[in-house]
Amino acid sequence: MASGKISFLGQQQNREVAELGLRLKEASENVTTNQMGVQHSVKRPIIKKVLETMAAGMDVSPLFGDIVKAASTKDLVQKKLAYMYISVQAEKNVDLVILAVNTFQNDLQNENPFVRGLALRTLCSMRLTDYVPYMLKSLSHALIDSSAYVRKTALISCVKLFHLAPKEVLDASLIDQLYNTLRDRDPEVVANGIAALNEILRSEGGMTINANIALYLLQRLREFNEWHQCLVLNTLIRYKPSNEDEKFDILNSLDDRLKHHNSGVQLATIKIFIKLTEGMTEIQQDVYKRIKEPILTLLSLGSPEIVYSCLEHVIALMNSSHQFLREDYKYFYRKVKEPSFVTLRKLEILEIIATEKSSKDIIDEISGYITGKDKLITQRSVESITKISFRIESVISYSLEIFMKLLETGIDIIISSIITMLEEFMNESPEKVESSLSVLPLIWTTIDLNSKAGPAFLNLLAIVGYEIPEAPYILESLIEDLENYPTTSFRLQLLDSTVTLFLRRPVECRVMLSKLFKISMEQTENLDIRERALFLYRLLQNDIEKAKEIFKYQRYASKNNSKKDNINMKSKHLPEFNTLSILYGKPSEQFIVELEPIPGLFSKRKDDDFFSSLSLHNISEPDELIPVQPQNLVKEEFTLSSTVSVDAKKFKSYWEGFKEIYEFEVSLLDSPISLTRLTLDDIEAVFEENNIMTMASGGTGDFIKLFLYAQETGSYILMLCEIKLNFNSKIAKVIMKVGHETDQIMNLTKHSEYFSQYLTRCIKICFNSVN
């Protein structure tokens, strides 16, 4: 049935395409005039229809010949539409492309420069190696064309061709020609020349910039359009002035760019300013003062996305200059109708810039966000106030006062967030918190006990339990109702809290404790809970005095220390200012997956290294990712040991000891198979084939988890990783740690990068090849 339906649809589609072909053949070249008095060629709407059909996913390749014919027309719109078709369909109709060559030939000679440019652009975007010599010939003419439009198109076409046939492009001595275009009259041509050189010479770090070129580009900077100014500035940043005078000349000549209307230009300029003044502390301080106003204007006027990026960059700048924007904290207050992702970043900044003087103002402001409608903001606002109070101790009481007041709102999300934070406050100033915890019995029914707030509440309750008469009864009702609170952390804390309270008030708690032990040991599948219950049970049975001692010290046990978070701000990398690195808060090596040639790998063979790096570069193309077997990739300098063996104890100690930690995600969305059909054995087998050993693995229904390790033979560097694969989202979360058995300090970046790429590829292979 189903197949019959499909073939019927197929026939229907074929008929539609055939009909379009017929209409194309019949349509005359004449123009008609429609009722609006506008002239149209008859073919134009038909080709449009063809393009729409193509976009809908139907096979329109039978029409190739007809469309090529339609491309030779005086109607420019029709020509463009036909070329649009040809550039998409050429690769599927390699044999027929020869038909189009004649059209290209004519159009490349056309008197209209736009037609020449269009033909060249389309010709070079066909990825057909057979036509490379023809393309090269056309290019060399186009590069010296009289029209700037054709010349600038030719330059980008060079890059396209370079990716298609690198060797031919380099042999054709185009590089010299490209450097010559830098002297072109037309700024767009110059800019594309720079772009082309940067990309073609990328293995050498891009275009060479000497003092002459730098000065020349600076002089012409204002001629470029805003986008090309970004390009030129980002290229200029590689230039290292030889003396201070030169530095100041550059600073002065770029000063007005800080006021440019395009934030891309502004940020590129700021980056140059910071780079040039590196190591000149006083002048750099002036630079920070100079860029303050432009940045504040961006924050006030930019679109939300730009404000978001700007806030991340402000964090980076604050990291290197702590005084930066300290006084201007009011600019980081929330604005009307602001998307939440912006507000969250602002909170982060407010946490950092609060000072002794401003902290009270800031806390007042943030406390206004807590009662808003957005839950995420409520939570984060409570956290921010907490963080500020931990850093600036004079406001602790003030914050607590606000929190206590807010506890009376009766809104569950507010109360839950505050309770979670109060647990942390307990570490900082127990006395102040304890005195105010008498409200717990009044509010506990509003707390979402299955969230983080649940264990926090239990912990607080245990701490002040001896003073609160209702405490045992609260615990009792929770124990009665235990099936409603399934989370492990809640159950564990409930055990701890009940024991704590039992040690203080044995009479009231004895019955419920024994009931809790019974449930936890007999009716629970969860090993953690059972073990904890068993441990506590034995402890109480053996030595009750000892237990009292232990529980006295456990009082304010808290999981994370927020004070530390505050000092270790996101590590931001100024060298990667104005790039995505700042937004991700990590250096580009950790998220740019593309295989850069690994330094050292090719250095031995200097002569042909350029091309071997290219072959490696090609491998990183996503389409080719899957079929490549990882074995092929393993160079002699990087082999994984097939005999490595690590026992569980060592694994654990390495896992805790290795400092080089990476987290990334691998999407398996394009995996053709249903992931749930894979067994752990299949997966482990694939990893083992590739010399990645399994330490432990397991899984339930929706996800599986694997602990793996591998060792590089030459350096003995170890890689450990945890892979969590969610079948529903088809995303594998990977935590990878790299280090050396002997703890010796060495540069692991290179290896880490390689390991992560290797691992990613293995995961992909795993889920595409196992049947």
Residues 113-152 close enough to bind other proteins by CB under 8 A: 114, 121, 125, 127, 149, 152
Is 278 a binding residue for other proteins by CB under 8 A? The answer is no
The window from 212-220, 476-484, 523-531, 592-600 that contacts other proteins (CB under 8 A) reads 592-600
* 3-class state of residue 740 by DSSP: strand
Query: Per-residue string for binding with other proteins, 310-339, x by CB under 8 A?
Result: x-------------------x--x-xxx-x
Residue ranges in 748-767 that form contacts with other proteins under rule CB under 8 A: 760
- Considering the complex, state which of residue 330 and residue 518 has its C-beta at the smaller distance from other proteins: 330
Residue ranges in 83-112 that form contacts with other proteins under rule CB under 8 A: 84
- Considering the complex, state which of residue 100 and residue 501 has its C-beta at the smaller distance from other proteins: 100
* 3-class state of residue 719 by DSSP: strand
The window from 31-39, 528-536, 604-612, 644-652 that contacts other proteins (CB under 8 A) reads 31-39
Angle at which helix 148-164 crosses helix 132-142, to 10 degrees, equals 150
Residue 698 has phi, psi (to 5 degrees) of 180, 170
Least Cβ distance, residue 406 to other proteins (angstroms): 7
If DSSP states are collapsed to H, E and C, what string results for 69-94?
Answer: HHHCCCCHHHHHHHHHHHHHHHHHCH
- Considering the complex, state which of residue 192 and residue 711 has its C-beta at the smaller distance from other proteins: 192
How many angstroms separate the Cα of 175 from the Cα of each of 70, 132, 140, 315, 383? 36, 17, 12, 41, 56
- Considering the complex, state which of residue 685 and residue 731 has its C-beta at the smaller distance from other proteins: 731
* 3-class state of residue 599 by DSSP: coil
* 3-class state of residue 128 by DSSP: coil
Residue pair 163/199 in contact (Cβ under 8 Å)? The answer is: no
Give the whole-angstrom CA distance, residue 667 versus residue 669.
6
Q: Count of alpha carbons within 13 Å of 680, Cβ hemisphere only?
A: 17
Residue pair 702/728 in contact (Cβ under 8 Å)? The answer is: yes
Residue ranges in 515-544 that form contacts with other proteins under rule CB under 8 A: none
Is 504 a binding residue for other proteins by CB under 8 A? The answer is no
Is 247 a binding residue for other proteins by CB under 8 A? The answer is no
Least Cβ distance, residue 717 to other proteins (angstroms): 23
- Considering the complex, state which of residue 313 and residue 387 has its C-beta at the smaller distance from other proteins: 313
| Secondary structure percentages of the chain, helix, strand, coil, to 5 | 65, 5, 25
- Comparing CA positions, the residue from 521, 539, 517 lying closest to residue 530 is 521
Least Cβ distance, residue 263 to other proteins (angstroms): 4
Residue with token string 């295989």: 595
- Considering the complex, state which of residue 81 and residue 695 has its C-beta at the smaller distance from other proteins: 81
Residue pair 497/466 in contact (Cβ under 8 Å)? The answer is: no
Give strand pairing partners of 731. Answer: 667, 726
The binder of other proteins chosen from 669, 672, 700, 771 (CB under 8 A)? 669
Give the whole-angstrom CA distance, residue 386 versus residue 398.
11
- Considering the complex, state which of residue 491 and residue 761 has its C-beta at the smaller distance from other proteins: 761
The binder of other proteins chosen from 76, 94, 534, 696 (CB under 8 A)? 76
Is 502 a binding residue for other proteins by CB under 8 A? The answer is no
* 3-class state of residue 392 by DSSP: coil
The binder of other proteins chosen from 7, 208, 300, 526 (CB under 8 A)? 300
The binder of other proteins chosen from 10, 62, 133, 304 (CB under 8 A)? 304
Give the whole-angstrom CA distance, residue 675 versus residue 724.
13
Give the whole-angstrom CA distance, residue 395 versus residue 359.
7
- Comparing CA positions, the residue from 407, 463, 474 lying closest to residue 441 is 474
How many angstroms separate the Cα of 30 from the Cα of each of 21, 23, 344, 369? 18, 14, 61, 67
Least Cβ distance, residue 309 to other proteins (angstroms): 4
Residue ranges in 672-701 that form contacts with other proteins under rule CB under 8 A: none
Q: Which residues contact 66 (CB under 8 A, 6 or more apart)?
A: 21, 24, 25
* Encoded tokens for 167: 């060797």
- Considering the complex, state which of residue 109 and residue 300 has its C-beta at the smaller distance from other proteins: 300
The window from 20-28, 539-547, 579-587, 654-662 that contacts other proteins (CB under 8 A) reads 579-587
Least Cβ distance, residue 220 to other proteins (angstroms): 15
Kindly state the DSSP code that residue 576 receives in the 8-state scheme: G
- Comparing CA positions, the residue from 56, 27, 59, 64 lying closest to residue 44 is 27
- Considering the complex, state which of residue 479 and residue 732 has its C-beta at the smaller distance from other proteins: 732
* Encoded tokens for 440: 């717990």
The binder of other proteins chosen from 62, 506, 600, 622 (CB under 8 A)? 622
Is 226 a binding residue for other proteins by CB under 8 A? The answer is yes
Residue with token string 């042999």: 171
Is 593 a binding residue for other proteins by CB under 8 A? The answer is yes
- Considering the complex, state which of residue 39 and residue 435 has its C-beta at the smaller distance from other proteins: 39
The window from 59-67, 478-486, 526-534, 581-589 that contacts other proteins (CB under 8 A) reads 581-589
* Encoded tokens for 505: 């008030």
Residue ranges in 480-499 that form contacts with other proteins under rule CB under 8 A: none
Least Cβ distance, residue 354 to other proteins (angstroms): 17
Least Cβ distance, residue 363 to other proteins (angstroms): 14
- Considering the complex, state which of residue 8 and residue 591 has its C-beta at the smaller distance from other proteins: 591
Q: Based on the number of CB atoms within 10 Å of its own CB, is 617 exposed (0-12), middle (13-18) or buried (19 or more)?
A: middle
The window from 266-274, 422-430, 484-492, 542-550 that contacts other proteins (CB under 8 A) reads 266-274
Residue 712 has phi, psi (to 5 degrees) of -85, 130
The window from 245-253, 422-430, 456-464, 577-585 that contacts other proteins (CB under 8 A) reads 577-585
Least Cβ distance, residue 137 to other proteins (angstroms): 20
- Comparing CA positions, the residue from 297, 374, 381 lying closest to residue 346 is 381
Residue with token string 């990590």: 586
Least Cβ distance, residue 378 to other proteins (angstroms): 11
The binder of other proteins chosen from 268, 646, 708, 765 (CB under 8 A)? 268
The binder of other proteins chosen from 93, 138, 235, 613 (CB under 8 A)? 235
Least Cβ distance, residue 706 to other proteins (angstroms): 19
Query: Per-residue string for binding with other proteins, 186-215, x by CB under 8 A?
Result: --x---x--x--xx--x--xx---------
Least Cβ distance, residue 93 to other proteins (angstroms): 17
Residue ranges in 359-418 that form contacts with other proteins under rule CB under 8 A: 368, 371-376, 405-406, 408-411
- Considering the complex, state which of residue 76 and residue 696 has its C-beta at the smaller distance from other proteins: 76
The window from 95-103, 276-284, 580-588, 677-685 that contacts other proteins (CB under 8 A) reads 580-588
Is 308 a binding residue for other proteins by CB under 8 A? The answer is yes
Is 666 a binding residue for other proteins by CB under 8 A? The answer is yes
* Encoded tokens for 476: 């009792």
Residue 477 has phi, psi (to 5 degrees) of -65, -30
Total chain residues near other proteins (CB under 8 A)? 108
Is 80 a binding residue for other proteins by CB under 8 A? The answer is yes
Is 702 a binding residue for other proteins by CB under 8 A? The answer is no
- Considering the complex, state which of residue 376 and residue 673 has its C-beta at the smaller distance from other proteins: 376
The binder of other proteins chosen from 1, 2, 38, 745 (CB under 8 A)? 38
- Considering the complex, state which of residue 164 and residue 512 has its C-beta at the smaller distance from other proteins: 164
Is 262 a binding residue for other proteins by CB under 8 A? The answer is yes
Give the whole-angstrom CA distance, residue 287 versus residue 299.
18
What would the DSSP string read from start to end of 239-285? ---SSHHHHHHHHHHHGGGGG-SSHHHHHHHHHHHHHHTTT-HHHHH
Give the whole-angstrom CA distance, residue 365 versus residue 358.
11
Kindly state the DSSP code that residue 374 receives in the 8-state scheme: -
Q: Count of alpha carbons within 13 Å of 217, Cβ hemisphere only?
A: 30
